[in-house]
Each structure stands twice: as C-alpha cells, then as structure tokens.
C-alpha cells in the first residue's frame, strides 16, 4: 500500500469518527448517548456538550472531509495554486 493511500485511509477514519462522535454529542447534549459525564466540563467554559460537539463535527469532521475530496479529485483552482508553496510536489 502506498503511503498516500494509507494517509487518506487514516484521514477517512478520522473524519468518520469525528462526524459520528460530534453528531452524537450534538444530539445528546448531556452525553447520555456516549456515556460522557458532565463532570468533564467543570473546568471548561461550556455548560453542555453541544458546542464541543459542533466543533468536533465541523472542524475535525467536515473540514478534513472536504480536504479528502479535494485530494482525491485534484480540481484545478487558481486560488489554491496561489497558496501552494510546494509547486514541485503537488
């Protein structure tokens, strides 16, 4: 297995776990579906698990999913090429 394929597999695993975990935290804001105690939030600024669930879902789940799609399809984009500092690699 090539290194690139393995890294895409790991990224897909991360995306899947983050979307499922974040969705469960959003759906059950007090952690009953995952068995998460609210005592974990005592030193945090959150009263429930909904905001951490939203962050997990979108930042760790959806954003890398879009990155994975872009890596697989390799679309042409002038904006992406402007920020590409490694033109010789990708």
Digit-coded pLDDT (tens) for 41-56 = 889 898 888 999 999 9
The answer to whether position 40 is within a domain reads yes
Please return the burial class of 61, using the count of CB atoms within 10 Å of its CB with bins 0-12, 13-18 and 19+: buried
- Locate 85 and state its tokens: 């500092």
Q: Residue 82: which pLDDT band, with cuts at 50, 70 and 90?
A: confident
Global pTM? 0.77
Q: Tens digits of per-residue pLDDT, 3-41? A: 888 989 999 999 999 999 999 999 988 888 888 888 888
Q: How many structural domains does the chain have? A: 1
Boundaries of domain holding 46: 18-82
The answer to whether position 6 is within a domain reads no
The answer to whether position 74 is within a domain reads yes
The answer to whether position 78 is within a domain reads yes
């Amino acid at each position: 297995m090539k290194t690139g394929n393995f890294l895409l597999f790991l990224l897909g695993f991360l995306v899947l776990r983050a979307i499922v975990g974040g969705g469960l935290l959003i759906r059950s804001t007090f952690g009953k579906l995952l068995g998460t105690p609210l005592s974990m939030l005592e030193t945090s600024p959150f009263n429930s698990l909904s905001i951490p669930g939203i962050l997990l879902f979108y930042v760790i789940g959806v954003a890398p999913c879009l990155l994975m799609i872009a890596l697989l399809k390799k679309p042409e984009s002038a904006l992406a090429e402007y920020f590409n500092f490694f033109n010789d690699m990708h």
